Structure formats: C-alpha cells, structure tokens
Structure 1
C-alpha cells in the first residue's frame, strides 16, 4: 500500500510543479490554492510512505516521478522543446526509478 501512496505523492508533485506555471508568481488565487494543496498533500503522503519504505529510495522515486511527469507535462501543455536526448534522459530516469523499486 505504501508504494501506491508514494505513486500518488509523485503524481501530486507533478500537479504542484505544473501548477506553479498557472499561478503566475502566486498572483492568481485559485491556481495558487490548488498548487499549495497539491504541494502539502504530496509532502504529507511522502511522509506517510517513508514510515515503512527506505527514505532514500522513496525520496528518489518521488522526485523521479515528479521530474519525468513534469517534463512530459511541459512538452504537452506548454509546447516545450522535445528531442531524442531529452526523451532518452527521461527514459534513463524511468529505468532508475524501476531499478530503485526492484532493489527495495
């Protein structure tokens, strides 16, 4: 169950990272509120997950989910550049996440 909680925490990290773009420097109320809720919930769930998961593994997986998801969201939502090197780098992060999960 803690792996599912960690996955949800990682997805919420994507939510707050992408949400930062919509807050316009925290000058827009509702996007700011949603971003802060995602941030706090993501941290709380990460804290819950590390009660029984190794902290280094859980944190690295949480960051990896957030990094890959945010990069993909940036490509789709904000027309950020895409290249083979970027895709290969994101793939490497995914392989790292899988390796950490299998090693735990």
Structure 2
C-alpha cells in the first residue's frame, strides 16, 4: 500500500514541477526554477521507490495520469487554461483508464 501512496504523491509533485517549469521562463526566474528542481527530484525519487513493487507500465501510467490530471485541473482552476465539458470528459477518461490499469494489476 505504501508504494501506491508514494506513487500518487510523486504524481502530484509532477504537477508541481510541470507548473514551476512553465513559470520559470526557460530557467530564467530563480524561485520557479528552484521549485522545479526540488519537486522534480521528489517526483522522480517517489516514482523510483514505487517501481520497486509496482509493475513499470502500470506505475508509469498512473504517475503520468496523476500528474497530467492535476496539472490540467490546476491550470483550469487558476484560469490559465479554459474549462469545458469536453475537456472535463477527457480528464474523466484518463482517470477511468488509470483505475482500469490498477484493477487489472496483480
């Protein structure tokens, strides 16, 4: 169970580093660059830890999905990206696929 929690947590840090990367303006802004560096290290470290017990395909797909859904959700919540029913439907589709992968992992 711990490995799954770490995987989801590291996926959340993926959203942090992706957002910080966009705010760093090509690593020219100090604070977003530092947030990126710390969060990418935590994110990758968590992914590496989780993959000691979780199959690589499932683990990576879940990590990416958690990061992508959180990043898009944050961007929509802050007004950086538009909100539409179609976008929300696709996000729900990503979540559904990840749940399917988890349910079929032995």
TM over 0.5: yes
TM-score category, normalised to shorter length: over 0.9
Q: Figure out how many residues of one structure are paired with residues of the other and give that number.
A: 104
Question: Which is further off, 77-86 or 61-70?
Answer: 77-86
* Structure 2: gaps spanning 5 or more residues: none
Q: What is the 5 A alignment of 1:78-93?
A: 78-93=79-94
**Structural RMSD (CA):** 1.0
Is structure 2 residue 65 aligned with structure 1 residue 58? no
* Structure 1: gaps spanning 5 or more residues: none
Give the Cα–Cα distance (whole angstroms) in 2 for the partners of residues 19 and 28 of structure 1: 10
TM-score of the aligned structures, taking structure 1 as reference length: 0.94
TM-score of the aligned structures, taking structure 2 as reference length: 0.93
Runs of 4 or more, structure 1, over 3 Å off, are none
Please state which structure has a larger fraction of its residues in helix: 1
Report the Cα offset of residue 75 of structure 1. Answer: 0.7
Q: Which residue in 1 is equivalent to 2:40?
A: 39
